[in-house]
Chains A and B, each alone.
Chain A
Amino acid sequence: MTKVFVSMDSAALSMGANEVAAAISEHAAKAGHDVTIVRNGSRGMLWLEPLVEVETEAGRVGYANVSADQIPELLASGFLSGSSHDSCLGLVEELDFLKNQTRITFARVGVTDPLSLADYEAHGGLKGLRNAIAMTPANIVNEVTESGLRGRGGAGFPAGIKWNTVLNTESDQKYVCCNADEGDSGTFADRMLMEGDPFTLIEGMIIAGIAVGATEGLIYVRSEYPHAIDVLNQAIAIANENKLLGSSVLGSKFAFNLEVRVGAGSYVCGEETAMLESLEGKRGMVRAKPPIPALVGLFGKPTVINNVMTLSAVPMILADGASSYQSFGMDRSRGTQVFQLAGNILRGGIVELPFGITLGDLVNTVGGGTHSGRPIKTVQIGGPLGAYLGEESFDVPMGYESLAEAGGMLGHGGIVVFDDTVNMAKQARFAMEFCAEESCGKCTPCRIGSTRGVEVIDRIVAGEDQAKNLELLEDLCEVMTDGSLCAMGGLTPLPVRSALKLFPADFGIKVEVK
């Protein structure tokens, strides 16, 4: 029997992976080959999808960009024994792109069968949870604090400190809410983990529950991710059947129940308090803070809110110890970051590395520059609220503080590459337009300011009274930065100002930009 891996990740499906898997089944059967097809997650080398891997004695041999009509030819050439072919990559794990990474959170993604709990355990799964069950809640929280793990959803708040607040707040009911709204353009790590290794997230959430004394968990997933929702629901059912979830987690005294909730097409619902409102069935209006959700969260109860990547780092921290995770990274950015290379990039996908790699190395050495082959003009890091950076920032090491110093923001770790055909006035206008469209409407600077922003940028580009309109834009940006309740209105000026500062010519500016 030969094992063949064809990913069921959405990105692979978008390039025809289902058709490829069906063709392999059909033609292998016809030719009398005994083949088992495993639908794994994606290795994160998205430009190679559909990637087909064949298990051989030497390891898994990969075939890139396979199409369904190629299958008869591949079978005839003997690819089931890993024979050479134009599309053959050799051993997948020996490819530079993978070999040079430090995969901790993504260790199993693309390797295992996402819906096999046995496979999960065989690859190190549940070790962290078993350790946690034997520890005191305070010690679990301590371990997470010691690891240096910070929130991967955008704000970078230390996870252990948040957990400690929830642990020390008395309540008859507490919640763990996973933020899987992943609305930032250029980000897909949450989706790939949920589709490719859902038990890691489930294990992380159970550990969080045990640590803070919460018995209920909710995963808020955006509706744009139907496949991830489906995989998560299947994984939760399997976890319930196997007593990983329920009234006695792995036979312990701890209970933990988990449920998936689906969003309805609103970017601002990724903001944690808007997410809570949405989970309560209401409009996604941002709440004023304080009180923080750790004290007054879902239905007014103490609530841990963490991003998918934050929670998914936890099992490894508990399995291998805080010091192991803490040993990676730089300064106050500890552990690994799951970078996502997106947009106009030759080798797009998942790059998990310790903090500290430079931006230039990421996009050029790892990513191979643009897909179009043209020069890179700019990159946007951290989603629609993130700054545009030019080549002069390519020496910046990737970390929370170092990026902030360079005027940028790490956000969720997505990096969108643009070539030299991009017009930055259009990008600045889009940032304002997006804010106007997605604003929850609670504060005027965000709701009205963004609409005014679009108009002012249009006037600048049209060459109308540029000095005056530039001043007006600057004022608007200031009011939005200072007068907004949340980062939606507060950070929209970041892409706008950076675009203007770096590329004034794209705005047709004839006067000096301050």
Chain B
Amino acid sequence: MSNYSEESILNFLGPYKGNRSAVLRSLQLVQELLGYVPDSALDIIAKNSNVSRAEVYGVFTFYSDFRSTPPAKAVVKVCVAEACQASGSASLISELHDKGYDIHKGNIKDDIQMEQTFCLGNCALGPAAMVNGAPIGRATCAKIFASTSAVTA
């Protein structure tokens, strides 16, 4: 995924040229395109949006969605918020931990990465998880890995 050029990113950001209010959307577009926001993209966005690099960097660090390194093939979001706590998310999280996944660190193992998130809007069917955008209700390790194996295969 790292075979991008400054030109290809600029092409992609074309519609936002000179638009100071498009910093967030530019970051989102780059992440959509590449899976993450490489350091060099911050300069490209700054130039394209006509703002300082510091400003772009500030936006990049404020929002937890952005990543500075490529994600795993399968990204699992695991809900850590209250309704899922009430439905037993703690034991799910510790089982995942035993399998080598720390949702707080988001380490990558076997093409899978697990990350914590605060509420997925599936609070009546917790614990809730999401694998590359596909929701899993009443989540168990078995359900999660069945879903990840479909994307990592």
Contacts and interface: CB of A to CB of B under 8 A. Distances in A.
B123 interface: yes
B63 A14 contact: no
Interface in A2-36: 10-11, 13-15
Interface string B38-50: 0000000000010
A224 B121 contact: yes
Contact of A281 (B22, B117, B135, B136): B22
A262 B27 CA distance: 12
B66 interface: yes
A283 B124 contact: no
Contacts of A284: 62-63
**Which of the four size classes fits the interface of chain B?**
35 or more
Contact of B138 (A15, A265, A430): A15
Nearest to B81: A185
A224 B21 contact: no
Contacts of B22: 281
Nearest to B26: A281
B122 A188 contact: yes
A184 to B, nearest CB: 7
Given A10-B122, A224-B119, A349-B124, A265 B86 contact: no
B87 A264 contact: no
A225 interface: yes
Nearest to A266: B63
B125 interface: yes
B82 interface: yes
Nearest to A284: B62
A342 B128 contact: no
B35 interface: no
Contact of A188 (B24, B63, B65, B124): B124
B135 A11 contact: yes
B85 interface: yes
Contacts of A474: none
The 6 A-B residue pairs with the shortest CB-CB distance, nearest first, are A348-B124, A14-B137, A343-B86, A264-B63, A185-B81, A342-B123
24 contacts: A10-B135, A11-B124, A13-B135, A14-B122, A14-B125, A14-B135, A14-B137, A185-B83, A187-B123, A188-B121, A188-B123, A227-B133, A265-B64, A266-B64, A267-B118, A280-B21, A281-B21, A281-B23, A281-B24, A281-B49, A340-B123, A340-B124, A343-B83, A343-B86
Given A184-B119, A263-B65, A343-B85, 7 more contacts: A14-B128, A14-B138, A265-B117, A283-B62, A341-B124, A380-B82, A384-B118
